[in-house]
Amino acid sequence: MSDRVETNASKVVLVTGASRGIGAACALLAAERGFRVVVGYRDDHAAGDAVVRAIGQAGGRAVALRADVSREADVLALFSAIDGEFGRLDALVNNAGVVAPASRMVDYSLERMRRIFDVNVLGSFLCAREALRRMSTRLGGAGGAIVNISSVAAKLGSPNEYVDYAASKGAIDSMTIGLSREVAAEGVRVNAVRPGLIATEIHASGGAPDRVERLKHLVPMRRGGTAAEVAAAVLWLISEEASYVSGALLDVGGGR
């Protein structure tokens, strides 16, 4: 093992929404780097278990824990389970998120908007709050790192498609900046990664499985990105290599 993996050997990272896509890629890479991994998932128990098995087969340690991050009771139970299983938390990747089918705002229902903000924004706030209660040196913790998964959509706005999703990620950007300054002296670094057009299942859940291929001409690099490329940025931000980085919004969008 490398020195970096040895250094991470006792550390614990929670990745929410880790049963697929970017979250799964982050979980797998974190395990490869030596972290013990909590694979958070909402509905797909089989997919969460598959990520845990893949980590175990590669010699890592992981557990899959269910939680709907938009429900405070679920979040409290999730962190309580982490306390019982590992007794520590060193990093949080706030990845859980949802998107609705592409539509103009005039057709949005209240239910659609509420779900997107409940999961994407309030879920990230709840998980960050509980992580801070365990990591902040002011509260007796040993410090740590939080990486929020935002989106390039926060600066593009996603007109005619996902204005609500884009706005939810704009809120995550603001939360990242504000929280990073709030806890900078408490041993906790807070950053965000803003993926661009990434080939994951989220496009299909938004009703556009061909979205990456259809829009890749808008990306200066002329291709969609991969979940692994996003995960590499996330793992850098939670590593000691980024020890003086906090409040950053790191775009992983092919130049877009």
CATH number at residue 16: 3.40.50.720
Among the options 41, 108, 165, 244, which is catalytic?
Answer: 165
Report which of 256, 127, 143, 119 is spatially closest to residue 194, judged by C-alpha positions. 256
- pLDDT tier at 130 (50, 70, 90 boundaries)? very high
161 pLDDT above the threshold of 50: yes
118 pLDDT above the threshold of 90: yes
Surface-to-core class of residue 85, CB atoms within 10 Å of its CB (0-12 exposed, 13-18 middle, 19+ buried):
middle
Average pLDDT over residues 133-142: 98
5 pLDDT above the threshold of 80: no
Q: What is the pLDDT of residue 180?
A: 99
Q: How far apart are CA 3 and CA 118, in angstroms?
A: 40
The count of structural domains within the chain is 1
Q: What is the pLDDT of residue 201?
A: 67
Quote the crossing angle between the two packed helices 72-86 and 123-135, to the nearest 10°. 30
Q: pLDDT averaged over the chain?
A: 94
Percent above pLDDT 90 for the chain: 89
User: Would you say 187 and 132 are in contact if contact means Cβ atoms under 8 Å apart?
Assistant: no
Q: How far apart are CA 4 and CA 17, in angstroms?
A: 25
Beta-carbon contacts of 136 under 8 Å, excluding residues fewer than 6 positions away, are 143, 183, 186, 187, 188
Report which of 13, 81, 86, 21 is spatially closest to residue 48, judged by C-alpha positions. 21
**How do residues 193-223 score in pLDDT, each as one tens digit?**
999 999 886 655 556 678 888 889 989 999 9
Q: What is the pLDDT of residue 209?
A: 74
Beta-carbon contacts of 152 under 8 Å, excluding residues fewer than 6 positions away, are 194, 195, 196, 197, 251, 253, 256
The rounded radius of gyration (Å) of the Cα atoms in the chain is 17
Q: What is the pLDDT of residue 200?
A: 80
Average pLDDT over residues 164-178: 98
250 pLDDT above the threshold of 70: yes
**How do residues 56-95 score in pLDDT, each as one tens digit?**
999 999 999 999 999 999 999 999 999 999 999 999 999 9
- Per the rule left: phi > 0, alpha: psi between -120 and 50, beta: everything else, 239 is beta
1 pLDDT above the threshold of 50: no
Q: Tell me the residue range of the domain where 59 lies.
A: 3-252
Residue 41 annotated among the catalytic residues of the structure: no
